[in-house]
Amino acid sequence: MLCGRDGPDRSTGLETVSVREQEYARIERERRFLLAAPPAPSSITVTRLIRDRYLEGTRLRLRRIERPDTGSRELKLTQKVPANRPGAVQGLITNTYLSQAEYDLLASLPAAVLSKTRFSVPPLGVDVFVGPLTGLVLAEAEFSGDEEALAFVPPAQCVAEVTDDVRFTGGILVSASRRELSAWLAEYGIRLSPGADSEPGHDHSAPMY
């Protein structure tokens, strides 16, 4: 079972935990990297269109995933509880898969919205963001164990590792302005081109399909 809570996470104000798997939650291990550009089309094996709705005042994320090649759609509700330590262990994650009716009901709740395209480029999943985050290319690698995570050597196209930089997590990015993103990327030597909307994606209505 999960041990006691350890107090609020500074970035979100929500509680963190000491991480141990429980019956329904699993430990999420991943390392995150910044890329200077999207992956070459020839390197992409699968493309997914992702729209995330971060429900206000919670750790809950409502996600819609679509595959243009097959027309399939996946709907799920995710809870992420951050870990209270640095490194590849990000915390606990619990997924619940939803029907369209269940998704529509939850999508009526106030939320901040983030949209991106995820390209599978083994061994990485590469997220190319749109809207106010256009120009951000963020890659992640997932692992089943700590030793595997520590031994991972990132591909040459990875500019900088941001695993421990909470600013490059979805819960923070969803409310980031373009000016903030530009400043954050500049710290890693990446220049963000002008353009796109300057306001983050807050949305208090149901999404369009």
Domain presence at residue 14: yes
Using CA atoms, how far apart are residues 104 and 95, in angstroms rounded to an integer? 17
Q: What is the pLDDT of residue 82?
A: 82
Q: What is the pLDDT of residue 89?
A: 77
Q: Note whether 7 and 16 are within 8 A (CB).
A: yes
User: Strands 15-17, 46-55: parallel, antiparallel or unpaired by DSSP?
Assistant: unpaired
CATH number at residue 9: 2.40.320.10
Q: What is the pLDDT of residue 8?
A: 55
Domain presence at residue 189: yes
- Among 151, 124, 132, 109, which Cα is nearest to 39's? 124
Domain range for 151 is 5-201
Query: For residue 185, what is the enclosing H or E element?
Result: helix 178-186
49-76 pLDDT per residue, tens: 999 999 999 999 999 999 999 999 999 9
26-52 pLDDT per residue, tens: 899 999 999 999 999 999 999 999 999
- Among 78, 87, 82, 79, which Cα is nearest to 18's? 82
Q: What is the pLDDT of residue 81?
A: 87
pLDDT at 24 over 80: no
Domain presence at residue 119: yes
Whole-model pTM?
A: 0.82
Q: Note whether 77 and 92 are within 8 A (CB).
A: no
pLDDT at 23 over 90: no
Using CA atoms, how far apart are residues 55 and 92, in angstroms rounded to an integer? 18
Q: What angle do CA 165, 89, 97 make, to 5 degrees?
A: 100
15 — pLDDT class (breaks 50, 70, 90): low
Domain presence at residue 208: no
Domain presence at residue 209: no
Q: What is the pLDDT of residue 1?
A: 35
Counted domains in the chain: 1
Domain presence at residue 187: yes
- What percent of the chain has a predicted confidence (pLDDT) above 70? 82
User: Strands 137-142, 26-35: parallel, antiparallel or unpaired by DSSP?
Assistant: antiparallel
Domain presence at residue 67: yes
Domain presence at residue 71: yes
